Chain A
Amino acid sequence: MTIGNIIILVLLSASLSFFSFRLLHLLKLIALGQGALPLDRKAHRIKRLLIDGFGQRRVLKQFSGVGHFFIFWGFFFVSFGTIEGLISSIIPRFSFSFLGDPFYLFMNFGQDVFGLFVIGALLVSLYRRFVIRPVRMEGAFSHTVDALIIITLIFVLLIMSYGMRVIDPKPGWTPVADVLREFIFHGTVSSTSYSVAYASFEWIHHSVVLCFLIYILYSKHTHILFALPNIFLKPDKPLGLIEKLDLEDETVEHFGIQGITDFTKKDLLDLFACTECGRCQEACPAYITGKPLSPKKVILNLKEHLLEAGPALLKKSETEFSQPLYSDVINKDMLWSCTTCYACEEACPVGIAPMKKIIGIRQARVLMEGDFPEEAQRALRNIETQSNPWGLPQQQRGQWAEGLGIKTLAENPDVEYLFFAGCAGSYDQRYISVSKAIAAILQKAGIQFGILGNEELCTGDSAKRIGNDYLAQELAVANIAIFNRYGVRKIITSCPHCFNTLKNEYPEYGGCFEVIHHSDLIVDLITSGRLQPHSRLPVDTKKITYHDSCYLGRYNQIMDAPREVIARLKGSKLVELKRNRENSFCCGAGGGRMWMEEKIGTAINVARSREIIDSGVDTVATACPFCMNMLADGIKQEGRVEEIKIRDIAEIVAEAL
């Protein structure tokens, strides 16, 4: 061992100690969270890790993701060489060649080629960050400096390793180094005559690596370590499920998220997995329309809070003492601007869940403090007394079906399907026409169905997402009791919010039913030939588009059925909106926002309506009462009522019967 070897060994040990110390600290912070990390359905998790993690599926949704793909894989290869280089600086002539020729040679090739790609990607990312400056990347000045430091470190590291390989070729095909060598030295290099240069490269390279090790866990680049585990640990439950709180547990002192340690371990892991790429922010309807909410900011604020409060929390971990997050970390307007559209979680490449954290904090505000927007309180009070958000008489819930020859389950429980009309389908004059259209379709197709009439209750979607789990649970239990009384097995819904709650949340209360949204049902009926609509859309419809409901599309992956319904009607030209399917843009009504005022920025429904107007269609098809209501308002706001009609797909089909 030379002096040089020893110095490297000492420095490496120091650097690794620093790294481990910090890593341990972060892991301890994550461990402050509640519950265990989810590890069920491993095969599924591994598959997701391969596709979303190693395959970078969600990163690649944007073109700029290609750069990240190369950096990710470049990093993978380069690390291999870096480790080899570090060890060989301590144990001379060490190499990984013992791993076998084809693999070792492939890794050398990978390092050489991906190194170049990484340099290219880094230059592009510098250009993007400092010249193009996408909004989603904006943040504190320190974050930009952080990015600059990391990019510089990687850049220097790559240049140095090329320098080393040019002077001292590695086995195998290394085209980039070979070309460089040819270009600079016109052939072979006598490594002895360039030993000083080689040593300098090696020292710089190693210094950079050691600095990188120390720096990385203090920067946003913790994602290098935590992103893959985060993808692996992402909850494997239906997307539309907000898990019920255990309100019966008498030992629980509070419900919902008050302090940072009320989050689960996975929630806290999220904070370190975040790269601040801002894809969530770019997709967030609240942010885009000028509200103070950004999912990225939610995560960053929580992370900053955890790092700040962490040391104190670790000392008092036994007492579970933590400062309230509201309103310093997450303020009122951030909290109540969320439409729970799920776009942020859909966009996140590494499986972070900002929306569910927001709902957790809402639960604490509502259940523990009774503190939430007054208009939302009115809606919940109405649901409490009359089981619908408008406070219309419970005893008129079934009135919409009068004279249509529809029986209630009380009159005839011996039917295949329950048609659950929902609050809007029962009370909103506009949406009653959709209920009637669905009923007409079912009757035409000879489906045996019934309704609950005045016995039907609100499913509790709004209550749940506003944060009143108590009310949501009461409604769920009461509805399930009614379903069971009539032996209900299959439920048809017209409202995606009812659909999601019945399908994904009721099983938690033992209510397992086959829940079918009317768009799926209509496609089935047409496919099976039980329904034969004329081959025409109404004459005044020439260009039609479909607006995806968040709760149908992103939440429950029902995106094809409504489109297919339209496609089945000849003479229709379906125009896609700019943002469609899983990237669709919210109407602004979800998460209880339907019952609140929208006072900051542009109204979300107006923003979406403008997109519809710009698409040049004369009809928007919807499959959700909230979307229909919000878009009708938005289009009215833009003064286009005369030109653009809003129709539910059921109405379009019913008209073609």
Chain B
Amino acid sequence: MKIVVLIKSVPDTASIFKVAEDNKFVVIGNPKFIMSPYDEYALEEAIKVKESVSGEVVVVSFGDENALEVMRTALAVGADSAILVENSDADSFTGKGVSKVLAAVIKTLSPNIIFAGKQAVDDDGCQVPERVAEILGISHASAVTRFELQGLTAEADREVEGGYCTMEITFPALCTVEKGINTPRYPTLPNIMKAKRKEIRKMTLEELNLSADDVRPGLTVNSISLPRQERLLKKLEGEIGAQVKQLTSILREEKIGL
């Protein structure tokens, strides 16, 4: 069984975000890069499948050199090999371009299963894995909450409004996973050490025969803004009844949780 896991290196969302002067870029002082949390679940699921039937797990990522550390983590957790399509300008790619890059790599690997997180917590794009599956022409299922291998097929649950549905998946297939599908393991020291010595294969867009036209974004960012960073610390005043009314009108106007 050959399993590919799509992973992405993202800044820890606990970082402090600022907006650059041109209002178009996010600035993060001294960022810590982590594997996007949903990808951790995807990787864990892949390793679990591998452990149950034997096979190999290849992690594939598109990013700049910051992604290397996260790929090492993936190797320490249990991936067998890693491929990074390195591009210093990776951040400017949209889901459309990224999916083409990843699909081009995966085509050369012909995996049976592809796992990915349901979204990356930086751009929250929610589209790259599904696009990859469509480009590769394989079936896919999103936000899977249970995955069980049954011989040559698999059974998976996914949430639908008001419940969940169970489906049968024939391979090759791609699944994006939801939080809580498993508990990602903590890497062991020997594996961390081994991962340090493993080679991470690097590829470029040229090697994948992708032209600038193929990956040119069809979007431009006009501006970005910080809704707010700090808590408002607003103590409501007046009678209790008035305070409650004040609160509900704020919630209504700001469309909070309604």
Contact = CB atoms under 8 A, between A and B. Distances in A.
Touch A–B, Cβ below 8 Å: yes
B249 interface: no
B14 A374 contact: no
A391 B13 CA distance: 10
Interface stretch (A132-140, A152-160, A365-373, A516-524): A365-373
Interface in A356-384: 366-372, 374, 377, 380-381
Contacts of A538: none
B16 A369 contact: no
Interface residues of B, number: 16
Contacts of A377: 186
Contact of A395 (B30, B183, B189): B30
Contacts of B183: 374
B19 to A, nearest CB: 15
A247 B189 contact: yes
A195 interface: no
A395 B29 contact: yes
B12 A385 contact: yes
B185 interface: yes
A173 interface: no
B14 A470 contact: no
Interface in A133-149: none
User: Do most interface residues of chain B lie in helix, strand or loop, or is the interface mixed?
Assistant: loop
B189 A367 contact: yes
A470 B189 contact: yes
Contacts of B14: 385-386, 391-394
Given A374-B183, A393-B16, A385 B32 contact: yes
Contacts of B187: 370
Contacts of A34: none
B54 interface: no
A255 interface: yes
Nearest to A367: B189
Contact of B15 (A247, A368, A380, A393): A393
Contacts of B185: 370
Contact of B16 (A368, A370, A395): A395
A374, A381, A385, A454: most-surrounded residue (chain B CB, <10 A): A385
B153 interface: no
Interface in B23-39: 29-30, 32, 34
Contacts of A391: 12, 14
B188 interface: yes
A188 interface: no
Nearest to A368: B188
A64 interface: no
A395 B15 contact: yes
A366 B190 contact: no
Contact of A470 (B15, B29, B192): B192
A639 to B, nearest CB: 24
Contacts of B188: 367-370
Interface in B122-179: none
B28 to A, nearest CB: 9
Contacts, number: 44
A386 B29 contact: no
A255 B185 CA distance: 19
B73 to A, nearest CB: 10
B189 A380 contact: no
A13 interface: no
Nearest to B33: A385
Contacts of B29: 395
B186 A394 contact: no
B32 A394 contact: yes
A372 B15 contact: no
Contact of A386 (B12, B186, B192): B12
Interface string A383-405: 00110000111111000000000
Interface in A320-369: 366-369
B76 to A, nearest CB: 10
A429 to B, nearest CB: 12
Q: Among the interface residues B29, B34, B185, B188, which one has the most CB atoms of the partner chain A within 10 A?
A: B188
Nearest to B190: A368
Interface string A146-184: 000000000000000000000000000000000000000
Among B14, B16, B32, B190, max chain A CB count under 10 A is at B14
Interface in A389-425: 391-396
A564 to B, nearest CB: 39
Contacts of A393: 14-16
Contacts of B16: 393, 395-396
Nearest to A387: B32
Nearest to A454: B30
A219 to B, nearest CB: 41
Contact of B186 (A255, A370, A395, A454): A370
A392 B15 CA distance: 8
Contacts of A254: 190
A372 B186 contact: yes
Contacts of A392: 14
Contacts of A394: 14, 30, 32
Interface in A252-272: 254-255
A386 B189 contact: no
Nearest to A396: B16
B30 to A, nearest CB: 7
B186 A385 contact: no
Nearest to B78: A370
A609 to B, nearest CB: 30
B222 to A, nearest CB: 27
B243 to A, nearest CB: 23
A584 B150 CA distance: 57
A254 B14 CA distance: 34
Contacts of B186: 366, 370-372, 377, 380-381
A326 to B, nearest CB: 14
Interface in B178-220: 183, 185-190, 192
B32 A386 contact: yes
Nearest to A374: B183
- Determine which residue in A370, A381, A392, A394 has the highest number of CB atoms from chain B within 10 A of its CB, and name it: A370
A395 B16 CA distance: 7
A386 B187 CA distance: 18
A368 B32 contact: no
Contacts of A374: 183
B72 to A, nearest CB: 13
Nearest to B188: A370
Given A247-B189, A367-B189, 13 more contacts: A254-B190, A255-B189, A368-B188, A370-B185, A370-B186, A371-B186, A372-B186, A385-B12, A385-B14, A386-B32, A393-B16, A394-B32, A454-B30
A-B interface, 8 closest residue pairs, ranked by CB to CB distance from nearest? A370-B186, A367-B189, A395-B16, A370-B188, A385-B32, A385-B12, A393-B14, A377-B186
20 contacts: A247-B189, A255-B189, A367-B188, A368-B190, A370-B186, A371-B186, A380-B186, A385-B12, A385-B14, A385-B32, A385-B34, A386-B14, A391-B14, A392-B14, A393-B15, A394-B30, A395-B16, A395-B30, A396-B16, A470-B192
Interface of A: 247, 254-255, 366-372, 374, 377, 380-381, 385-386, 391-396, 454, 470
